[in-house]
Structure 1
Amino acid sequence: MATPLALETPRSLEWRTRATRRAIELATTGRTFTADELHTPAVGEPNHHTKWGSIMRDKQVLKCVEFIGYTKSTRTGGVLSVWQGRPLIAQQVLQSLEQDGEHTA
């Protein structure tokens, strides 16, 4: 279940911005990837582990990716969605976010 925006803290909004940007950057490569690849020191950790999946459902991210299938997580052993980046669209979305400043979900 998504957290209502009114309940998001400044820290969680900053994390969401970094994670969303990371997902869109991965999409610009055109290769397949999973939410496991969002985990980087620059992105940090969310206040709850279920927030990772919500990034891939973000409306900006969904414009930039296509669902391909499923694979086993390298982190938890669970099932993960596999996404194929749409590089041209992702680049346009990334440029738009840079022009608009910070992205908030």
Structure 2
Amino acid sequence: MIEPSRPEVRQFVAAVNAGDRAALSATLTADATMSDDGTDRDLREWTEREIFTSNGTMAVESESDDGLDLLVRYTNSTWGVMNTRWHFVVADGRISRFETGQA
């Protein structure tokens, strides 16, 4: 597992792995959006279901040169272990959008 080089992304991964709602919220802009497998989702509902109530964790396998794209071994109690890709858009030191899906 590697640690993401971008501080915003590193903080996002740490918050997910800690199951820390407040810390995850602090990494996001107030109007942040997200998509899962190409479909926009309600960010708060999705994170509650796919991360917090299902004990989601991210093991980062690799990242792009700019640190905004990750390949992750994602695990939660609903889906088990899956290889996923994550793309982040950062604005003013916070994540304004993330896109995830199966890799």
Q: Settle same-fold status: TM greater than 0.5.
A: no
Answer 1 or 2: higher relative contact order, Cα 8 Å, separation at least 6: 1
Name the structure where strand makes up a greater proportion of residues.
2
Determine which structure has the larger helix proportion and give its number: 1
* TM-score computed with the length of structure 2 as normaliser: 0.29
